[in-house]
A and B are shown apart, each in its own frame.
Chain A
Amino acid sequence: MARIGTWWQRHRPSTRRLIQLYTAVLYNANLKGFIKGDIFRGSTKAVCTPGLNCYSCPGAVGACPLGALQNALATAKTRAGWYALGTLLLFGVIFGRTICGFFCPVGMLQELLYKIPGFKIRKSRITRILSYLKYLILILFAILIPLWSGLFRDVPLPAFCKYICPAGTLEGAGGLLANPANQDLYPMLGSLFIRKCVILLLVILACIFCYRSFCRFLCPLGAIYSLFNRVSIIGIKVDQDRCTHCGACAKSCPMDVRCAGDHECISCGRCQNVCSRKAIALKCGRTSLNGEKYRRIGWTLALVLLAGALLYFNLADPKESSTVPIGYEAGQQLEDFSIPLVGEDTFRLSEHRGQVVFLNLWATWCGPCVEELDYFSRLQTEHPEIEVLAVHSAFVTEDVEEYLKGRDWNVDAAIDTEEEMVFRIVNGSTLLPQTIVLNPRGEVIYNQVGSVTYELLTELLQEAQQS
Chain B
Amino acid sequence: MNHSDRVRKERRVRIWRIVLIGAGVILIAAGILNQSLRDVLYKAINICAECIGLG
Binding site for B on A (CB under 8 A): 39-43, 45-46, 48, 54-56, 60, 62-64, 67-68, 71-72, 75, 79-87, 89-90, 92-94, 158, 161-162, 168-169, 172-173, 176-177, 185, 188-193, 195-197, 228, 230-231, 233, 240-241, 321, 363, 365-368, 393, 395, 397, 429-433, 449-451
Contact = CB atoms under 8 A, between A and B. Distances in A.
B46 interface: yes
Nearest to A175: B52
16 contacts: A45-B45, A56-B48, A56-B52, A68-B40, A79-B36, A81-B31, A83-B28, A86-B28, A185-B49, A188-B55, A189-B55, A192-B54, A228-B20, A231-B20, A431-B46, A431-B49
B55 A193 contact: yes
Interface string B27-38: 111111011111
Given A79-B34, A82-B34, A431-B46, 12 more contacts: A42-B45, A45-B44, A63-B41, A68-B40, A79-B36, A86-B27, A89-B24, A240-B6, A431-B49, A450-B49, A450-B54, A451-B55
Given A83-B36, A90-B24, A231-B20, A71 B43 contact: yes
Contacts of A195: 53
B11 to A, nearest CB: 12
B48 A46 contact: no
A84 B47 contact: no
* Interface residue range, chain B: 35 or more
A83 B42 contact: no
Contacts of B25: 86, 90
A323 B53 CA distance: 24
A192 B39 CA distance: 26
A71 B49 contact: no
Closest 9 CB pairs of A and B: A83-B31, A86-B27, A196-B53, A90-B24, A172-B52, A86-B28, A46-B41, A82-B31, A395-B42
Nearest to A88: B24
